[in-house]
Structure 1
Amino acid sequence: MKLLMIEDNESVSEMMKMFFLNEEWDVTFEYDGKDGLDQFLASPDSWDMVTLDLNLPTMDGVTVCREIRKVSTTVPIIMLTARDSESDQVIGLEMGADDYVTKPFSPITLIARIKALHRRAVLTDDTDKVSNEIDEAFDVITDHFKMNTKTREAYLDDQLVEGLTPKEFDLLLTLAKKPRQVFSREKLLELVWDYQYFGDERTVDAHIKKLRQKIEKVGPQVIQTVWGVGYKFDDSGVGE
């Protein structure tokens, strides 16, 4: 794995360097936001993963994340933040980060998060490469909704839901494959993020919020909250 770590705390970088070396990953360290962005932009397609501190000199992590997403919608990004504030974490996720880890963190936890996110990215990439031709067949078809996992497109009453990130698409696919089934946040972390014990439920909530905003641009809401339990997909009431 080729990883770019943008982190201004050199002690954190030095600590993680030992763990990355043990994994035999090819890691580049940058300590300034703009320098990190320039490093990524020099070869956007070469990176398998980016870990990004929220508080960086010259250019903050949220801005760096937004600029990376303008170039690549697929590279996995993990935001590192010293602030345990829900608003900061949601902002990072809304700018395009796939996950966040709050400092101080266990190196083993960060390694596990990176591996889980990378596994999902590889599986998605392998699915996209199954066929070089666009397959118009839809893998999920409900009353008003359909999804194609090869083109990574979702339609509500034939209107394309635009701008879905890889994680948002995977989350929507997981829900839509089993309409009206209620999924807990813990189960969604396990199915979509591969987190079983160390995931944060707010990751799910932030992605659901962005997903709903994109769906509502083309039609009625199909993701419903089941209070005290989790979320479900239900388009049976669309058009009524």
Structure 2
Amino acid sequence: MKPVVLVVDDDTAICALLQDVLSEHVFTVSVSHTGQEAISRIEGEPDIALVVLDMMLPDTNGLRVLQQIQKLRPALPVVMLTGMGSESDVVVGLEMGADDYICKPFTPRVVVARLKACCDGLARWRLMRRKTPGCHSMAGISIPFAANCIVRYNNMSS
């Protein structure tokens, strides 16, 4: 089954482009044009595996949506895809919990590669959690005792 990506952007042309490009690869794409619609979908559709989120939405700021997603589904990866590309914008987005930050304009191949990498990282994390029953987790840090290492994943807690 293909991972479901929720694209949250009010720009219909960007949504159509991402839907076409991501559907050609390994993703099923769902689209929301407002922050509230996205939150409702995330609450009601547990099969959403990844969110691509614009910063400037008609009803709210993307960072507020990011915070709500973190409360609802802390392990759900969120990739910001936005025209706000200053260094401080990128740093704030990542510090607020985004798993990646892509600035517009973008190339479709780069977006696909980065989303695949994000999904691969999540799959590795889930596999590690399944294989290491002797694991202590706290504040987004997992200590798998058998692996003799400490692993920290953004937005992913046990």
TM (normalized to structure 1)?
0.56
- Is 2:139 the partner of 1:163? yes
Instruction: Point out 4+ residue stretches in structure 1 off by more than 6 angstroms.
Output: none
Give the alignment partner of residue 35 of structure 2, picking from 33, 36, 44.
Answer: 33
Distance 1:19 1:59, change over 3 A: same
Give the alignment partner of residue 19 of structure 1, picking from 4, 18, 21.
Answer: 21
Partner of 1:67: 68
Q: Which amino acid aligns with 1:163?
A: A
CA distance in 2, matches of 1:47, 1:18: 18
Instruction: Tell me how many residue pairs correspond in the alignment.
Output: 146
SS of alignment partner, residue 109 of structure 2: helix
RMSD over equivalenced CA pairs, Å: 2.4
Q: Which amino acid aligns with 2:18?
A: M
CA distance in 2, matches of 1:163, 1:14: 37
TM (normalized to structure 2)?
0.83
Shift of 1:163: 2.5
CA distance in 2, matches of 1:86, 1:117: 21
Q: Which amino acid aligns with 1:29?
A: V
Give 1 or 2 for the bigger CA radius of gyration.
1
CA distance in 2, matches of 1:16, 1:5: 8
Shift of 1:47: 1.5
Mapping of 1:87-102 within 5 angstroms? Answer: 87-102=88-103
CA distance in 1, matches of 2:69, 2:112: 22
- The alignment-based identity, stated in percent, is 27
Shift of 1:24: 4.6
